[in-house]
Amino acid sequence: MRKLSLLAVLVVLAIPHASAAGGGASASGGVHWTIPLPNPFGVEVQNRTLSFAAQRHADGGASGRFEYHQVVEGTAFIFNVAVTCMAVYDGNRAKIGGVVEVSNDATIPPGTFAWFQVADNGEGANAPPDWSTLVGFGTEAENEAFCTSPALPRFGPWDVDGNVQVR
């Protein structure tokens, strides 16, 4: 019986955790970081604020908000976003996306979609730093595809100062 119980635990642990199809997940945090040179962008990128609170509901819908404040070559860009999708992968990594409601960047007007992913790497002095990707921008279809894909980030991730909670 003990072998059977251990086998059941190992099987459960081997199944990748994803709440994309389920509900009841949430993610929140407030982080900042700098991407120094050299980097793939060719300029230093200061991500002054990424603050977010998102929830995935049992019916598959999502709600919440995030604000992203980035400075590139002395120019500040601010985006306020209403969450439309959220998924949790691997038990600690959240993908969050939504529609831009406020933007001071003429190339990314309200109505554009924005998304990012974060990881909660634990608490305490010995825990590795949490991490985040940059915010991506595009269409509603790209936003949904991002949230429903378990893929890891293409750019980054970068260790952050602050705290991410994924539940």
**Do 88 and 96 meet the contact criterion of CB atoms below 8 Å apart?**
no
Q: Is residue 1 part of a domain?
A: no
Say if 81 falls within a structural domain: yes
Q: How is 11-77 classified by DSSP, letter by letter?
A: HHHHSPPB-SSS---EEEEEEEEEEPSSSTTSS-EEEEEEEEEEEE-TTS-EEEEEEEEEEETTEEE
| pTM (2 d.p.) | 0.84
Domain assignment present for 10: no
Number of structural domains the chain divides into: 1
Q: What's the pLDDT score for residue 23?
A: 63
Q: What is the pLDDT of residue 2?
A: 36
84 lies in some domain: yes
Residue 5 resides in a domain: no
Taking only the tens of pLDDT, the chain with its 167 residues reads: 433 333 333 222 333 333 444 468 999 999 999 999 998 889 999 999 999 999 999 999 999 999 999 999 999 999 999 999 999 999 999 999 999 999 999 999 999 999 999 999 999 889 999 999 999 999 999 999 999 999 998 878 999 999 999 99
Residue 3 φ/ψ, nearest 5 degrees: -60, -40
Could you list the residue range(s) of the whole structural domain that residue 58 is in?
17-166
Task: Tell me the C-alpha distance between 165 and 163, whole Å.
Answer: 7
Residues 77 and 100: beta-carbon distance below 8 Å: no
CB atoms within 10 A of CB 26: 17
